[in-house]
Amino acid sequence: MLDAWVNRAGRFGERDQWALDKGFSGGGWREVPELSRCTSREEVASVVRSAFPGASDGKVNNFTGQLWALRSRINPGDLLVMPLKTTKQIAIGRVTSGYEYRADEPDPDKRHVVRVDWKRTDLPRTNVKQDLLFTLGSAMSIFAPSKNNAVARLEQLLLHGVDPGAAALAAKPVYAQSTAEPASVAADAADVDEPELAADIEQVAMDRITLRIAEDFAGHALATLVTAILSADGFVCTQAPPGPDGGIDISAGRGPLGLDTPRLLVQVKSGAQIGSPVVTQLHGVMTTHGADQGLLVAWGGLSKPARDSLRNQQLRVRIWEAPDVVDAVLRTYDRLPEEIRTTLPLRRVWMLADGGS
């Protein structure tokens, strides 16, 4: 039976690129020695207790469940999902090996691993529906998403890049999910197979805000939102009306008339992932109009060729994907027009940044 797993690459994504480049998933747990000789969850628990003396029972159980999954439950053929902190996108691939301990690796945070053939490394979060995003947003490092046909939907994301939703698959057999498990497996799974009970509240909030913007600021309305953000940052903006715009959705500049440097041209794409022709068009209009800088708003993300074509333009062109737009909204929210704040009502909430168990 094939399963799906989520395995993060560090609290801040510090191992994201390493995992993608080297074909690994896992790492972390630097205090924990090799687990290859452990043949039961109880043996892993004993190692965890030794590695974390004085830890609470809750912390020991939490770490044990995740490490036992890495040691024994994640198998070749399983789906492996890695939410990327560095790009705010999602990587997904197939596990190709069981647990390995890389004893010769000098970085102790890169020793506990499984090998993965990454199939997609730039899946936009906007391609995943809200309920599945909520599951993927668990605060745990390693867990098995299973509710709402999660495994079958992740298979579709791997194959087609789009989440069909739980309802679309409800009537279809889900070969990768079992309705009954042996008691021993169920006991092992108790703490990693219910990721919704340990939600990352910050990520859940960001995903909900992203969904609201996608719903209420689609099409030309997204250009209106970007215009408001730039205006809040001190630019004088001119927004093109709906319809053909010649590749310029917004022109902006400093000074009372918006004619002072830096002069900025903005192209806004609210639909699916964009390709390199859009980037080429932006370069062309920047040259034609003598713009100092360009901003490409790509709500659905960029293809790899499009991203590659921008590498030599990092001092002149910036990309705002969906997470960047959300960050800009939060940064300028108090200065946005009242009609936008009414359409997108947000409230600031403070909470303890305590990651303890």
**DSSP string for residues in 249-279:** SEEEEESTTS-EEEEEEEEEE-SS-B-HHHH
What is the pLDDT at residue 178?
Answer: 41
With 0-12 / 13-18 / 19 or more C-beta atoms within 10 angstroms meaning exposed / middle / buried, residue 108 is: middle
Domain boundary assignment for the chain: 4-199, 213-343
* DSSP designation for 40: S
pTM: 0.72
Query: Rounded to 5 degrees, what are φ and ψ at 228?
Result: -65, -40
What's the CA gap between 114 and 5, in Å, rounded? 12
What is the pLDDT at residue 181?
Answer: 45
What's the CA gap between 316 and 322, in Å, rounded? 20
What is the pLDDT at residue 184?
Answer: 46
**Mean pLDDT in order along the chain per 10 residues (357 residues):** 87 92 93 96 96 93 94 96 92 96 95 97 90 85 88 94 80 44 48 65 86 93 97 96 84 93 94 87 91 94 87 87 95 97 92 58
Q: Which residue has the tokens 């789906």?
A: 79
What is the pLDDT at residue 186?
Answer: 46
- 213-343 has which fold? Trna Endonuclease; Chain: A, domain 1 (3.40.1350)
Strands (DSSP E) along 86-207, which ranges? 89-95, 100-101, 112-124, 142-143
What's the CA gap between 234 and 206, in Å, rounded? 25
Residue partners of 32: CB distance under 8 A and separation at least 6: 47, 48, 51, 63, 67, 112
79-83 vs 100-101, strand pairing mode: unpaired
Given 3-state DSSP classes, what are the helix, strand and coil percentages for the chain, each rounded to the nearest 5? 40, 20, 40
What's the CA gap between 328 and 321, in Å, rounded? 11
What's the CA gap between 335 and 65, in Å, rounded? 46
Helix (H, G, I), strand (E, B) or coil at 174: coil
What's the CA gap between 190 and 179, in Å, rounded? 15
